[in-house]
Amino acid sequence: MTKTNFNSKSIKRHDIKDKTVLVRVDYNVPMDPGTTNIADDSRILASIPQIEYLLNRNCKVVLLSHLGRPDSSSDNEFSMMPITTRLSEILDKPVLQLPSCKGKDVEKQINQSPHRSVSMLENIRFEAGERKNDQNLSRALANLADVYINDAFGVAHRAHASTEGITHYIPSYIGFLMQKELDILGKLMSNPVRPMTSIIGGAKASDKMGVLRNLSKIVDTIIIGGGMAATFIKAKGFGVGASKYEDDRLSEVRDLMENDRIRAELIIPTDVIVADRFHADANFEVTHVDSIPENMIILDVGPRTTEKYAATISESSTVIWNGPMGVFEWKNFSSGTINVAKAIAGLKDGTTVVGGGSTADVVSKLNMNDDVTHVSTGGGATLAYLEGKALPAVEAILKND
């Protein structure tokens, strides 16, 4: 999968004037709990350049996305209508909410829509065949348009009907956002400016082992944080108190830390913030990793560790960050994450990439989006790419004739 392949399938390289274009977008935006209010519309805003590009070429634009994890089409809380309303406000023009993702009625409404119009299909995950990559659903989606664009990097690792299956039945191309992600992440993995540091957090070491193994061959330094740090501390021979760790991963983690054949140096916490329970108001203290009390759990990296991490980041030319350092949502256990974020934001002359939903949320809440080079729109897709895995939705487009 090379940059040349990506560019050959860029929508900019193909004539789509006057076409009906189906665009797979990622409008799986966070909503305020119990409401239909959009908590963060950044994913919608990010899609606007692609939409306007198509409108300027006299296209009919039909948008396709998922939202949440509905059990059935009767889950009205997952309707695309709030997204459609917000998109209409941003574009300052009507956006037609269609009743479904397929069928004669939907086809008729799209056919009757004028050029330079925008329509929104209903939540694709209302369709049982989406996750099954059902051929009949893929064909039905293809029947709605002349051309298909995938601009949803966040689901590029999914072989679903709306991402992989559809490409077998319609001319298919890569959209602006997808192209940007592939270009930036591709350069990071193939030709980074060194020294390169990767910061990896998260709840479980098992969720990130593939990424760690692949990155250990590419980057110069790997910084470890989050709940998974307990497994690394345990593998180093220290007790972790009442913290959860993955016993079946200890030998694998130990091998990663002690393997002289890998490129990367792994840095794990030397001190941590521990608490007497998993709660925002828990009693807490700072302790060295060699003296974690039996009844305490690790909820953040400690100040000395944070200082070491910040110093490593400041000496880097390229940084990629995936996963908070602690329970960032709780003030008493957010300092590690905040200080790592500040160190990344302070790297003015370097390339800094933030990947993963929770990490992107951290940067957004700290108002640091403009202080990093790129905030990836992918969660699982970013991890899959960093692990060196093929992305089914992208591979399908590259193979599309």
* Residue 2 bridge partners (DSSP): none
> What separation in angstroms does the CA of 385 have from each of 16, 46, 99, 287, 381?
29, 21, 35, 36, 6
**Among 3.40.50.1220, 3.40.50.2300, 3.40.30.10, 3.40.50.1260, what is the CATH number of 3-177?**
3.40.50.1260
Q: Which of 210, 380, 388, 389 is catalytic?
A: 380
Residue pLDDT, tens place only, 212-241:
999 999 999 999 999 999 999 999 999 999
Which of the residue ranges 67-71, 89-93, 344-348, 356-360 would you say has the lowest mean pLDDT?
356-360
pLDDT at 4 over 50: no
pLDDT at 1 over 60: no
Residue pLDDT, tens place only, 93-107:
999 999 999 999 999
204 is catalytic: yes
In this predicted model, which residue has the larger pLDDT, 288 or 31? 288
357 is catalytic: yes
CATH topology of domain 184-386: Rossmann fold (3.40.50)
What band does 7 get if pLDDT is binned at 50, 70 and 90?
confident
pLDDT at 156 over 60: yes
Percent of the chain at pLDDT exceeding 70: 97
239 is catalytic: no
Percent of the chain at pLDDT exceeding 90: 74
Which pLDDT score is estimated for 103? 93
Model's pTM, two decimal places? 0.86
| 3-state SS assignment for residue 298 | strand
| 3-state SS assignment for residue 38 | strand
3-state helix, strand, coil in the chain (%, to 5): 40, 15, 45
Q: Which of 43, 125, 180, 208 is catalytic?
A: 43
Q: Which of 68, 210, 357, 388 is catalytic?
A: 357
pLDDT at 202 over 50: yes
Residues of the chain with CATH 3.40.50.1260: 3-177, 184-386
43 is catalytic: yes
Q: Which of 57, 131, 204, 304 is catalytic?
A: 204
Q: pLDDT averaged over the chain?
A: 92
Which of the residue ranges 32-46, 172-186, 197-211, 228-242 would you say has the lowest mean pLDDT?
32-46
